[in-house]
Chains A and B, each alone.
Chain A
């Protein structure tokens, strides 16, 4: 008899900060299939296809561009076209962070039909959701690049460094989403609460509005929000061609690592309970 390939031992010790990463790596092919499924299913049967991904951020951009440049006649806090400022913020904060966190937070509930029958690590579903949000973000970046060229602003070389804030945001979203998912196992109205919280968080950073409309004495409340550092670093690389201040980099990296580790740790101790509780 050959040795068995798979052993399931319910008493095997959980290594809360090792197993999730190991599971994710071992299941990378499955995650790849699930991300592809996520993206194709959403757009497969619609006429506009993949353009739906972009329609939401584009329309939002249009609305805010109209509001701020026509009604308030404000043009953002740099020389870059306001529409570039807006779309970059909306893609990072709304498409990537906010939608990714909600998708990741509801991933255990959405994957319930599989989780209650087949032994699949819960991390697979959470990581799938945040990766899908990252892909949506990346597709949006292509439009942003076109917009930068079309408005004559151009594309700086620092665009090559955009993967740095992208990876940091992926870590942050995954960790944050895992915390939400862990809580959502116990109370199903967590997601409603989170949607309100996310709206608050999104409005607390200059996604839609030029930062200079905020009085100097209130800026601190924007700057303590970690999302602000992601925005600064990302916008700097994407179109300004500048490096954000060092504290933004430190805050971004630190919050990404901390959020991921805390999220993974909490998630790894709670996702198994999903099957018992549901």
Chain B
């Protein structure tokens, strides 16, 4: 029918780690003279290929350092793959490290407009949505206070509310469902479920295996940057659980 929402084709990503940590020009010049400038590539993703059809809930599991967060950043278009190709078709809302990208000196209201615009929405639309977003995040009374007075939970709530307000076509979720209190967890899970039902493609990275079982249709198991297994959610989560 239509093309997949996400196509990942033989993607590898290396972080360049300078062997001698030549972080300054002075050190670099010294190392250059000593003919020592060498970079050790750190392969965070190694030849990863998969497709995600539109509307699917696709989860990524794996131990720490497996490359899950790197993969999400590649899908978000933030990290360029070292080789291979990524195609993402649709408006993406990245829920990565919630609260990052918000400004602490600005008020909640200003942050809603700015963060929404950063995510690619017109500022006029965001201005109209301010009240609805604040209401959902239960922050209406703090709307005109600067963010530095917010708790971590409050700013996460605000970021989540902004990113999921206008229906994204693709939602990238990195452990968001584990921040905040029980009430917010339930509320955010419910909103993601609503988006899923509305046809949004969801990529979910989580260590919370019960959540993965409940929400995901397919699961990919990453280990040290490589795909260890990919397929039906129950099956892969069982296998992964057995291995740890």
Interface of A toward B, CB cutoff 8 Å: 1, 4-11, 29-30, 32-34, 37, 41, 44-45, 113-120, 186-190, 193, 272-273, 275-277
Interface of B toward A, CB cutoff 8 Å: 2, 13, 15-16, 22-26, 28, 54, 73-74, 76-81, 84-92, 94, 96-97, 100-101, 103, 105-106, 110, 113-114, 117-120, 122-123, 169
CA distance A272 to B76 in the complex (A): 13
Partner of B101 from A9, A32, A118 at Cβ < 8 Å: A118
Partner of B78 from A1, A37, A193, A275 at Cβ < 8 Å: A275
Partner of B80 from A44, A114, A276 at Cβ < 8 Å: A276
Q: Are A9 and B87 in contact (CB under 8 A)?
A: yes
Q: Are A114 and B110 in contact (CB under 8 A)?
A: no
Q: Are B123 and A7 in contact (CB under 8 A)?
A: no
Closest to B117 in A: A30
Q: Are B25 and A189 in contact (CB under 8 A)?
A: yes
CA distance A193 to B28 in the complex (A): 14
Specify which chain A residues have a CB less than 8 angstroms from the CB of B106 in the assembled complex.
37, 41
Q: Are A37 and B110 in contact (CB under 8 A)?
A: yes
With A118-B118, A119-B77 as known contacts, state yes or no: A189 contacts B94, CB within 8 Å.
Answer: no
Partner of B87 from A5, A7, A275 at Cβ < 8 Å: A7
CA distance A122 to B1 in the complex (A): 35
Q: Are A275 and B103 in contact (CB under 8 A)?
A: no
Q: Are B91 and A5 in contact (CB under 8 A)?
A: yes
Specify which chain B residues have a CB less than 8 angstroms from the CB of A11 in the assembled complex.
85-87
CA distance A116 to B118 in the complex (A): 12
Specify which chain A residues have a CB less than 8 angstroms from the CB of B105 in the assembled complex.
41, 44-45
Specify which chain B residues have a CB less than 8 angstroms from the CB of A188 in the assembled complex.
23-24
Closest to B3 in A: A4
Measured CB to CB, the closest approach of chain A to B89, in angstroms, equals 5
Q: Are B118 and A8 in contact (CB under 8 A)?
A: no
Partner of A10 from B24, B26, B86, B89 at Cβ < 8 Å: B86
With A7-B88, A116-B73, A117-B76 as known contacts, state yes or no: A193 contacts B25, CB within 8 Å.
Answer: yes
CA distance A111 to B106 in the complex (A): 16
Partner of B89 from A7, A190, A275 at Cβ < 8 Å: A7
CA distance A37 to B113 in the complex (A): 11
Specify which chain B residues have a CB less than 8 angstroms from the CB of A276 in the assembled complex.
13, 15-16, 79-80
Q: Are A33 and B123 in contact (CB under 8 A)?
A: yes
Specify which chain A residues have a CB less than 8 angstroms from the CB of B25 in the assembled complex.
187, 189-190, 193
